Amino acid sequence: MQMIMKDVKTMTSKAYIVANEQQEMAVLRELDKNGNEWNDKRNATDFIPSEKSYVKFPYAIMSDRFIGWLSIDDAIVENYEIVYDGRKEEQMSDKYVVSQEFMDGLEEWKDYCFEEYGVAINSGSIEDLPIVVNAWWGDEVPDEENNNRLIAIIRWVNGEDVFEVEKPKKWVVRSIGLTDDDERYYVSIGKFMGLKRALNTYIINQATRFDTKEEAQSWANSHQEVFDVVDV
């Protein structure tokens, strides 16, 4: 996600309204790069507000003397200069988020159809859609959305930018519940005398990122769960 923020020179109190986890992490990484800290001296990315059950999107990350967060319904937000509003970004996005496998299949299908039929879209070429695309544009999708997805494929063939490839994901193991301090702990795989062992950390950036869900599950116990994070 490319973030566009206003250059605010006259005010030091700023607010970043985030509407999803991707925006949240982008803002926190930006604040971390600038050396901002939470009031308990933790680095910006060492505490992720949305992991708390009481923090709901969209919400505002505040950057003043220290980092803080507030519900966007809180009147205090009006005292801050809003330098980023992710709600607008979400509303503006009309692209379908698809896998790299989907896009590769679509590209191969288009090349094949031009070679076989001389055009990409006709009754024969639609029947030749790759399995991964057919699964996306299929019987389980409501008729109206099915039509929208077929139109999206046609628009893409005509050169329009209607698809966005999802970012690669990793998998992390964390505790199911919160500690008495309202924290979660994460699994970090380390080595002791040459053997791998699971260690606990309260800092998500120190957690081991597994390539597959199955690998992460192999390190989780009955009191832990696995969840996906965007690989950066």
Alpha-carbon distance 142 to 102, whole Å? 20
Alpha-carbon distance 53 to 49, whole Å? 9
Angle in degrees, 0-180, between the axes of helices 143-157 and 100-116, rounded to the nearest 10: 70
Summarised one tens digit per residue, pLDDT across range 186-224 is 999 988 888 889 999 988 889 999 988 899 999 999 999
pTM of the predicted model, to two decimals? 0.45
Residue 2 has pLDDT above 60, yes or no: no
- The CA–CA distances, whole Å, from 102 to 20, 47, 206, 228 equal 24, 35, 32, 20
pLDDT at 5: 47
CA atoms within 13 A on the CB side of 112: 13
pLDDT at 10: 39
The whole-chain average pLDDT of the chain stands at: 82
**For the chain, what are the domain ranges?**
14-92, 100-165, 169-230
Maximum C-alpha span of the chain: 66
Write the DSSP assignment of 152-189 as a string of letters: HHHHHHTT---EEEPPPEEEEEEESS--TTS---EEEE
Task: Give the strand pairing for 224-230 and 169-175.
Answer: antiparallel
Mean per-residue pLDDT, 112-121: 82
- The CA–CA distances, whole Å, from 34 to 13, 27, 66, 215, 223 equal 14, 11, 12, 35, 36
DSSP 38: B
Residues whose CB is less than 8 angstroms from the CB of residue 125 and which lie 6 or more positions away in sequence, other chains included: 109, 113, 116, 117, 119
